[in-house]
Amino acid sequence: MIKKEVDVSAPVHELITGRWSGVSYDPQQMVKDDDLRAMAEAARWAPSCFGDQPWRIIFCSKAGDPEAWQKAFACLAEGNQPWCQHAPVLAIICADSRFSKNDKDNAWGEYDTGAAALSVCLQAGALGLMTHQMAGFSPEDAREAFNVPDRYQPKAMMTIGFQCAQTDIPEEFRQRELAPRQRNPLSENFFLNGWGKGF
Amino acid sequence: MIKKEVDVSAPVHELITGRWSGVSYDPQQMVKDDDLRAMAEAARWAPSCFGDQPWRIIFCSKAGDPEAWQKAFACLAEGNQPWCQHAPVLAIICADSRFSKNDKDNAWGEYDTGAAALSVCLQAGALGLMTHQMAGFSPEDAREAFNVPDRYQPKAMMTIGFQCAQTDIPEEFRQRELAPRQRNPLSENFFLNGWGKGF
């Protein structure tokens, strides 16, 4: 995966800074089920409120089950399909709206599921894989295509695969793929000892 | 930090498996502001819907600003205070309910904030620090104590600090702190090519 610069005011572990959401997948290189299992294990050990583990993730592998992959692909927004078509794995990430233990509303279902999804991305990075999460899909279509039970909310889809060689990036994605990464200044989102107080 | 066994069916990066939510902090060992800055930087580079970065995190340092720390401590549920009293840093994690770009509802505010919070935990682990997120606090008290604007929702609090030596774990927390970690079987939360289908 192409290494991109990040501006940081203190050193951060490279597993974290090395992750970014590219769009140029190598259509030839499939992802092994064992690698998907490692990503699932990474998410499995994420923290959650009362240890409830509200996440549910469906991994759809183009090599393993082209029909399932196609069903997932059809849920994507039109704007995402042109680059997602080359991703060997599409995942659907769902959040439980209730606690499994007592069926009461779980106000941390999405919060915890977001953490589990990031664990997938980071473990993917450790395996040399690239991920990209998307809100651009139809939760209704995903629910119908995969018979997702009512209590679970499809919150995001994710592409997983190997990035193609830099020389093979399609012209239409080249600028986007090579653009520098950007974030708010640290002081806009992170405070020390009081709301709005900088480090 | 004490290393705990995790049962995994495929190898997972140790930054991910090494994280767990302990309760026995060393009250003598403070956390440097530079280390907090590194955790903030880790969260800063987390992914988010449309790159909106909905997270806001207030770090309260007992050494740097005892009053701010005390205000945060007072927001915690009574059940959490006995062990949290020794944590040198308390953080309050808030999620933006709207997109900063257009002020529309952000349905991924909590999902993305959960990912940013996990980034804090993982970077803490890289620095030898222990974290523990909690839902057991009063969001209303936190909002009032820190003047959190309406659009941001306090979703979790977090302790950050160094774990005390194993021999110094208070008797009342000993069993809890040394208990094995547990998760659902992989097949309960993670599916391959269809809802409910195992790896």
CATH superfamily of A25-166: NADH Oxidase (3.40.109.10)
Residue type for position B175? Q
CA distance B153 to chain A (A): 11
Report the residue of B5, B6, B12, B148 to disrupt the A interface, i.e. the one with the largest count of A CBs within 10 Å.
B12
- A45 and B13: CB-CB below 8 Å? no
Q: Which ipTM did the prediction report?
A: 0.98
Judge contact between B12 and B70, C-beta under 8 A. Answer: no
- A43 and B189: CB-CB below 8 Å? yes
Confidence of residue A58 (pLDDT cuts 50, 70, 90): very high
Is a pLDDT exceeding 90 seen at residue B180? yes
CA distance B168 to chain A (A): 25
Q: Looking at the partner chain, which of A13, A135, A188 has a beta carbon nearest the beta carbon of B122?
A: A13
Q: How many CB pairs under 8 A join A and B?
A: 250
CA distance A41 to chain B (A): 6
pLDDT in tens, A78-123: 999 999 999 999 999 999 999 999 999 999 999 999 999 999 999 9
Average pLDDT in the B140-144 region?
98
Q: What does pLDDT average to over chain B? A: 97
pTM: 0.98
Average pLDDT in the A23-36 region?
97
Q: Looking at the partner chain, which of A33, A111, A183 has a beta carbon nearest the beta carbon of B155?
A: A111
pLDDT in tens, A123-152: 999 999 999 999 999 999 999 999 999 999
B contacts of A6 (beta carbons < 8 Å): 45
CA distance A96 to chain B (A): 10
pLDDT in tens, B33-46: 999 999 999 999 99
Q: What does pLDDT average to over chain A? A: 97
Q: Please give the pLDDT value at position B192.
A: 98
Is a pLDDT exceeding 90 seen at residue A13? yes
| Distance (Å, whole) CA B20 – CA B174 | 15
Name the 3-class secondary structure at B77. Answer: coil
Q: Looking at the partner chain, which of A6, A16, A148 has a beta carbon nearest the beta carbon of B122?
A: A16
Is a pLDDT exceeding 90 seen at residue A170? yes
- A111 and B107: CB-CB below 8 Å? no
Q: Please give the pLDDT value at position B199.
A: 87
Within chain B, residue ranges assigned H as helices are 14-17, 33-44, 66-73, 81-84, 109-126, 139-146, 171-178, 186-189
The contacts of residue A22 (CB under 8 Å, 6+ apart) are A1, A2, A130, A132, A163, A177
* Residue A188 burial class via C-beta count within 10 angstroms: exposed 0-12, middle 13-18, buried 19 and up: middle
Give chain B's length: 199
Confidence of residue A199 (pLDDT cuts 50, 70, 90): confident
Domain ranges in chain A are 25-166
| Distance (Å, whole) CA B24 – CA B20 | 12
Percent of chain A clearing pLDDT 70 (strictly above):
100
The helix (run of H) or strand (run of E) holding residue B58 is strand B55-61
Report the residue of B19, B30, B195, B199 to disrupt the A interface, i.e. the one with the largest count of A CBs within 10 Å.
B195
The contacts of residue B50 (CB under 8 Å, 6+ apart) are A135, B99, B101
CA angle B16, A90, A96 (to 5 degrees): 65
B contacts of A157 (beta carbons < 8 Å): none
Q: How do beta strands A190-192 and B130-134 pair?
A: unpaired
A contacts of B148 (beta carbons < 8 Å): 195
Q: Looking at the partner chain, which of A37, A58, A199 has a beta carbon nearest the beta carbon of B10?
A: A37
The contacts of residue B174 (CB under 8 Å, 6+ apart) are none
Average pLDDT in the B22-42 region?
97
One of 3.40.109.10, 2.40.50.100, 3.50.30.40, 3.40.605.10 is the CATH number of B32-166, namely 3.40.109.10
Q: Looking at the partner chain, which of A61, A182, A184 has a beta carbon nearest the beta carbon of B193?
A: A61
B contacts of A140 (beta carbons < 8 Å): none
pLDDT in tens, B57-111: 999 999 999 999 999 999 999 999 999 999 999 999 999 999 999 999 999 999 9
Q: Looking at the partner chain, which of A10, A149, A183 has a beta carbon nearest the beta carbon of B38?
A: A10
